Structure 1
């Protein structure tokens, strides 16, 4: 028994089944996690090795190179990068997608263990770490309204504990502010006079600040523990400490050092709208819902504000807000699109009950999709909801075809039950095939082994779920409901349909086209060739970009003073930046963090709907206002990517060039020359070189032979000098529940000159005092702040963002200028990366996926028609749709992006649907009449359902194509491509497909007749 027969014969069963789908889908909707993008696993591992006190060059030579050479041959490795900076080596391993990272991590441990003995003394054990893109803070808070000391205490004692109690919050990390600190500033001359050193002071302090168990005593029949309580109670306890010399004399600590009860030195300052502040970063637990956690944090912040009226607590960054706004925008566009689709149905059907019957397919299919998403472990995000929104118009397509055919049978006088059964059964094969063609195009996308697959596979599954659900609804619920509630007018018979004005006009046009069929086909072929040639020759302008930029309402400003910058100098720079941009109308919040390296400023804008300028335009205004600050370097970047990057990409820079070679000075010179070249290119912004000279510094080069003679290791010398210059926490004092660090170092006046540094005394193993100058060469110099390598070669990276120009166009100009004007010495090479490389790679993969999609669609249709000829005819819709898609992008001034190409692949499966239904109906009629009569009979009858399905699909996409609302930019190119391709192909399909069918079928018949004549002649000869 056919499925439509079952649905009509058992209406209660079908009703219960649909209600079960609604119930399960509703429950699933409330339990689906919500996020901005699908969860992604990046095939990256990092190896971090600390080597305190070493210069970048020493780190590269002694740590990075051995680690790189040991891991370079690991299976699945696609790229090997490293950064050697002061005291730290970071090696980044990028694996092929699909690599088992757990196994790779185990292999790395084995490889690294073999070279650990070759690493220098003082280098820590290499640590292997995963890279988790989902491990970023979901919220940033700033607290102002008091001194740095007061704010830090409030944050640590009140705000942090409250936030960390929230279910789903992993941590609330406090940054900035100043804590109480006790400093022991040792006098180098006094230490030398008593033949003492810092290590002895540290040991004496620790020994005087201990508590511990001494054992137990029996008191009567009871065993009592005995415990010594020797911990410091207050600052005065430090003043009582005495240090024992080698001769056994006791020297008061106060004679050897100045004791100071104060606060940490200022090494960073934070600001909120110009007021000094501190920050809190909220990290969620891995499986928690971002939006739910953020709502709980917002509620807690509101309560804290009421409890502390003098303290200003601001949420300066909230990923959940953008997620909520984006998803709300997609849902709104989805609802508007659904309403437009229903209106189109009513305008065509002019029948309220018919419209309601078809319209029920939308909510039922969507709820069924939510249920399937839940069981497939998908989340509600911009991509999956975008997939549903893109397919909302298609959810009624199958139901339209089924209902329209049932309608036609009813108009012919067939009874309700039989009309429902026969009408659904007659088109079941055709709509099943059309659904499968749309689903089939996603199969190649799923098998792309790339970041794209992780982003778009959930969308492919979502669209597939929704379309299969709509097919199920069309073949079960629609026939059942039609058998009960469908009212039919006599005007809906085939004969009356053909009398309608637009049908008659189409029939006359089709008749003329069939008479001039070769002229029609020739005109089409010539037009397509000219169009393709125009695209190839850039006569028809089609801009390209990697990913569409999304307005996240956030801008990052990075600035520093050239030369030897300090916290004080950068603090002055931060004030200048703030004063220059604070009156920009679109700015809501300004937060800054200042350290000796640079100023990091975050500019949060007012909501998108409340401002006239987009985030890129505001960023450009900030650039213009801050470009002429004397002695300052300022870089401004708008956050325009789903992945957190600027320039409209997946998290990287738009343009990037890498120059590789052995010598750092030469690389820097080449990089600076390249930077000067591309700065002149229109649209280039935020040029940045990865290699730069560091601040003036003092280099301590340890003489290993001398050090060993005195019984020192490199680690001994490095840790001691680090304590002398920067200070080291040697113990702590607990007072009123507050833990106060005790820091030991030399007096600032004794550690700031080259001579004083040379005179720092260390104690050898034989008890002799050894000045640092005998253990190391000490000289002033200026090295590089970091050294980057790719695949074991040094390189300098030149990166830049772009403004108001298409990526493809800018990249072409950059490569042309660099290749023609940058003179590379022998042994140096240049390559290009950034979004341009990602775009080229992704376009190439998606192009292959599109070809495979065409092949799969053809195979599905060949299976349906049991013919190789009819699918060939239908495939003529694909080039028509390509032309329409490109025209849609050009007319709307939208660049072709990865998202647009995904839309084009979807289009391959969509545009054939109308032709499938038309050819299927022509084949049915051809058994009763001639080919031309069948075409002129069937095509006009299928005109209305074709127009209905096309208009419902395209109009439902109009809200997405307009790009209105937060995050709508992501789906906009897909919607434009589908609308342009479907409208253009449908208009021409109504003429081209019947004409091609007529020609091909005639050629086929002639060929068959010719074969028959040959066969007959051979049989006659044999007789």
Structure 2
């Protein structure tokens, strides 16, 4: 029994099944997690190794190189990068997607254990860490309205505990502010006079600040614990400490050092709209819903504002807000698109009941899709919702074809039940094939590798789910509902349909086209060839980019003073930056973080609907306002990617890597390359990865001398570090608060080169040895960091772009480097950044498109049981590609990864109309000649073809207009589908019948020729 017969004969069963789908889909919708992008597993592992006091060159030679050579053989490794900085080594391992990172981590751990003994004594054990893309804070807060000390205490006592109690919050980390600290500032001359070391003072302080259990005693019949209470009660207890000397005397600590009860030295300063503040970063637990956790945090912040008067608590960054706005925009566009599709149905059908019957396919199919998404462990995000929005017009395509055929049967007098059965079964094969062709194009997408697969596989699954659901609804619910509720006027017979003006107009054009079929096909072929040549030689300009820019309303400003800048200098720089940009009307919140290295300024803009300029235009104004600050380097970057980076792939748009052995040569080449980049139009924020470090003091330990006095390198490094920077040696607990006790030399004795030379270390036999006898102390400079890729040194020159397409800029960059940058022997240049990602993704997607075309052809061949008719139908594909390219050019939209995904979808969509037309022509050809069948069938199929085309395209119009937050991401995809489908449909109505006529005639002649040969051979026998 056919499925249409079952649906008509068992209306209650079908109704209950549909209700079950609606119920399950509704429940699934409430439980689907919401996020910006699909969950992504990044195939990266990091190996961090600390080597205190070592220069970048020493770190590279003694730590980085051995680690690299050891792990380079691990299975699945695709790329190996490292950075050697002063005192630390970081090796980044990039694996092929699909690699089991747990196994890889175990393998690396085994390999590292074999070389630990060969690492220098001062190096810590290498730590292996995973890279978690979900580790970024979901919300950042700024707290202002008091001193840094008061604000930090309020945050620690009230705000942080409150936030960390929220279900789904992993941590709320505090940054900035000042905490109480006790300092023991030691007089070096007194140390030398009494032959006492800093280590002895530290040991005496620790020994005087001890508590512990002593055992138990019996008191009556009870056994009680005995505990010694020796911890400091308050700051005054430190004044009572005495330090034993080698001679057996005791020296009061107050004679050796000044004791100071104060606050930590300022290492960073935070500001909120020019007012000093502290920050809190909220991180969610891995499997928590970003939006729900963020909403709970917002609720708690609102409550704390009322509970803590006088303190300004602001949410300075909220990823969930962008997620909510983006998803809301996509949903809005989805609803508008659905309404437009229904309006088109009513215009064509002029029948309210028919429109309602078809319109029911949209919500039912969508709810069924949500059910399948839930069981497939997908989330509601820009990609999956964009997939549903892209497919909303297609959801009714199958239902249109089924209902239109049922309607036609009813109009010629067939009864309700029979019309529903016959009308549905007659087109069941065609719509099943058309659905399968659309689904088939996503199979290659699922097998795409790298990050692209993790982003777009969920969309492929979502669209597949929605189309299969719409097919199910079209073959079950639509026939059942049509048999009960469809009202038909008797003026809708085939003859009356064919007599409508637009159909008669089409029939006349088709008739003339068939009379000049070879001219028509020749013009088409010449046009297609010329168009392809025009694209190839850039006569027809097609711009390219990696990912569409998405206005997230955030701008990052990174600034630093040249030379060894202090925190005071950078604080002045931060105030200068703030004064220059605070009056820009689009700015909502300004936060900044100042330290001795640089200034980080974060600019949060007003919502997109409340400003006239986009984030890139505001960033350009900030760049112009801040570019002439004397002695400062300023980098301004707009956050324009859903991946969270400055550009489409989370990195810079343009990057050139120069590889070679010598650092000085690399730096020289890098500086030349940077100057060449800066001259290219649209280039912004050039940056060199390798640069000379600031002037510094180099302490080169004389190993022989150190060993003679019984010192190791580690002894010297740790002691001098304590003397200069201070070391936390104990804590004082007061009113439940732990206060660090820091030991160091007095500032007056640790801030000059002479005093550094005079720092005395005492050997085991009590001999005081100045540092100058154990090491050479000189002024110098080195490299701030050394980068390597696959065990080869390199320097990268990177830049962002402004108001120019990536593909165009990348071509110019490569031409300029080839012509003007003369590389010495042994040095090479490669290109990375978004351009490399774009080239890789485009290559994979072109391969996927070819596979999609092959799969579509195979599906059609199995449906028609013919290799010829699918060949005819495939003529729609080049037509659609031409239309898609024209659409991108006319709208000024660059071709991106999203646009290519739309083109792959287009391959499966555009053949649907031709399938239905060819299938109907074949049915009519059974009892009339070919030309009559074409002129009979094509006009009858015109209305459903126009209906399905217009519902699909108009449903995508809101997305194509890019209205709302995050809509830019789906815009290229929608433009490609709309323009490709419209262009191919217009020409398909002519080209496909013409090609069918030619090919079928050739087929018939070939068959007749074979028959003659066979008959001739039989006659001869």
Retained in 2: the 8 A contact 1:142–1:316?
A: yes
Kindly state the Cα deviation for residue 68 of structure 1 after the two structures are TM-superposed: 0.4
Kindly state the Cα deviation for residue 750 of structure 1 after the two structures are TM-superposed: 1.0
Kindly state the Cα deviation for residue 260 of structure 1 after the two structures are TM-superposed: 0.5
Retained in 2: the 8 A contact 1:8–1:483?
A: yes
* Aligned residue number for residue 842 of structure 1: 841
* Aligned residue number for residue 192 of structure 2: 192
CA distance in 2, matches of 1:49, 1:403: 68
* Aligned residue number for residue 405 of structure 1: 405
CA distance in 2, matches of 1:766, 1:193: 16
Q: Which moved more, 1:705-714 or 1:994-1003?
A: 705-714
CA distance in 2, matches of 1:526, 1:777: 80
CA distance in 1, matches of 2:707, 2:395: 79
CA distance in 2, matches of 1:878, 1:681: 38
Alignment: residue pair count = 1021
Kindly state the Cα deviation for residue 54 of structure 1 after the two structures are TM-superposed: 1.3
Matches within 5 A, 1:356-371: 356-371=356-371
Retained in 2: the 8 A contact 1:565–1:695?
A: no
CA distance in 2, matches of 1:65, 1:262: 44
Give SS of 2:509's match. Answer: helix
Kindly state the Cα deviation for residue 722 of structure 1 after the two structures are TM-superposed: 1.1
* Aligned residue number for residue 778 of structure 1: 777
Matches within 5 A, 1:259-658: 259-647=259-647, 649-658=648-657
Matches within 5 A, 1:598-997: 598-647=598-647, 649-997=648-996
Deviations 1:938-958 (A, max 9, x none): 000000000000000000000
CA distance in 2, matches of 1:703, 1:321: 58
Give SS of 1:476's match. Answer: helix
Deviations 1:806-830 (A, max 9, x none): 0000011111111111111222111
Kindly state the Cα deviation for residue 833 of structure 1 after the two structures are TM-superposed: 0.5
Kindly state the Cα deviation for residue 477 of structure 1 after the two structures are TM-superposed: 0.1
Kindly state the Cα deviation for residue 878 of structure 1 after the two structures are TM-superposed: 0.2
Give SS of 1:907's match. Answer: helix
Give SS of 1:492's match. Answer: coil
Give SS of 1:948's match. Answer: helix
Q: Which moved more, 1:838-847 or 1:692-701?
A: 692-701
Deviations 1:633-689 (A, max 9, x none): 100000001111113x12010000011111212211111111111101100000011
CA distance in 1, matches of 2:466, 2:769: 78
Deviations 1:403-447 (A, max 9, x none): 000001111111000100010000000000000000000000100
Q: Which moved more, 1:754-763 or 1:731-740?
A: 754-763
Deviations 1:565-606 (A, max 9, x none): 110111101001000000000000000000011000000000
* Aligned residue number for residue 111 of structure 1: 111
Matches within 5 A, 1:170-249: 170-249=170-249
CA distance in 1, matches of 2:813, 2:331: 40
CA distance in 2, matches of 1:927, 1:704: 99
CA distance in 2, matches of 1:943, 1:345: 14
Retained in 2: the 8 A contact 1:547–1:650?
A: yes
Deviations 1:874-897 (A, max 9, x none): 000000000000000001000000
* Aligned residue number for residue 15 of structure 1: 15
CA distance in 2, matches of 1:660, 1:429: 59
Retained in 2: the 8 A contact 1:7–1:477?
A: yes
Retained in 2: the 8 A contact 1:907–1:978?
A: yes
Q: Which moved more, 1:777-786 or 1:317-326?
A: 777-786
CA distance in 1, matches of 2:1018, 2:724: 107
Deviations 1:366-390 (A, max 9, x none): 0000000000000000000000000
CA distance in 1, matches of 2:971, 2:47: 40
Give SS of 1:34's match. Answer: coil
- Structure 2: stretches of 5+ with no match in the other structure: none
Kindly state the Cα deviation for residue 90 of structure 1 after the two structures are TM-superposed: 0.4
Kindly state the Cα deviation for residue 765 of structure 1 after the two structures are TM-superposed: 3.0
Deviations 1:601-635 (A, max 9, x none): 00000000000000000000000101111111100
Give SS of 1:783's match. Answer: coil
Q: Which moved more, 1:747-756 or 1:907-916?
A: 747-756
Retained in 1: the 8 A contact 2:59–2:84?
A: yes
CA distance in 1, matches of 2:667, 2:258: 45
Kindly state the Cα deviation for residue 737 of structure 1 after the two structures are TM-superposed: 1.3
Kindly state the Cα deviation for residue 704 of structure 1 after the two structures are TM-superposed: 2.5
Q: Does 1:69 align with 2:65?
A: no
Deviations 1:699-756 (A, max 9, x none): 1122223323333222222111111111110000011111110000111111122221
* Aligned residue number for residue 121 of structure 1: 121
CA distance in 2, matches of 1:24, 1:116: 56
CA distance in 2, matches of 1:213, 1:104: 46
CA distance in 2, matches of 1:80, 1:678: 27
CA distance in 2, matches of 1:909, 1:694: 57
CA distance in 2, matches of 1:709, 1:30: 74
The structure 1 segments of at least 4 consecutive aligned residues displaced by more than 6 Å after TM superposition are: none
Retained in 2: the 8 A contact 1:592–1:602?
A: yes
Matches within 5 A, 1:44-123: 44-123=44-123
Retained in 2: the 8 A contact 1:403–1:423?
A: yes
* Aligned residue number for residue 4 of structure 2: 4
Retained in 1: the 8 A contact 2:398–2:470?
A: yes
CA distance in 1, matches of 2:710, 2:857: 79
Kindly state the Cα deviation for residue 770 of structure 1 after the two structures are TM-superposed: 2.2
Deviations 1:17-65 (A, max 9, x none): 0000000000000000000000000100000001111111111111111
Retained in 1: the 8 A contact 2:71–2:108?
A: yes
Give SS of 2:83's match. Answer: strand
Retained in 1: the 8 A contact 2:195–2:766?
A: no
* Aligned residue number for residue 140 of structure 1: 140
Kindly state the Cα deviation for residue 221 of structure 1 after the two structures are TM-superposed: 1.8
Kindly state the Cα deviation for residue 219 of structure 1 after the two structures are TM-superposed: 1.5
CA distance in 2, matches of 1:119, 1:717: 18
Give SS of 2:700's match. Answer: strand
* Aligned residue number for residue 160 of structure 1: 160
CA distance in 2, matches of 1:1009, 1:705: 101
Kindly state the Cα deviation for residue 122 of structure 1 after the two structures are TM-superposed: 1.4
Retained in 1: the 8 A contact 2:444–2:848?
A: yes
- Structure 1: stretches of 5+ with no match in the other structure: none
Deviations 1:828-857 (A, max 9, x none): 111110000100010000000000000000
Cα RMSD of the aligned pairs, angstroms, is 0.7
Kindly state the Cα deviation for residue 774 of structure 1 after the two structures are TM-superposed: 2.3
**TM, length-normalised to structure 2:** 1.00
Kindly state the Cα deviation for residue 763 of structure 1 after the two structures are TM-superposed: 2.2
CA distance in 2, matches of 1:539, 1:513: 30
Deviations 1:177-202 (A, max 9, x none): 00000000111111111111110000
CA distance in 1, matches of 2:484, 2:112: 73
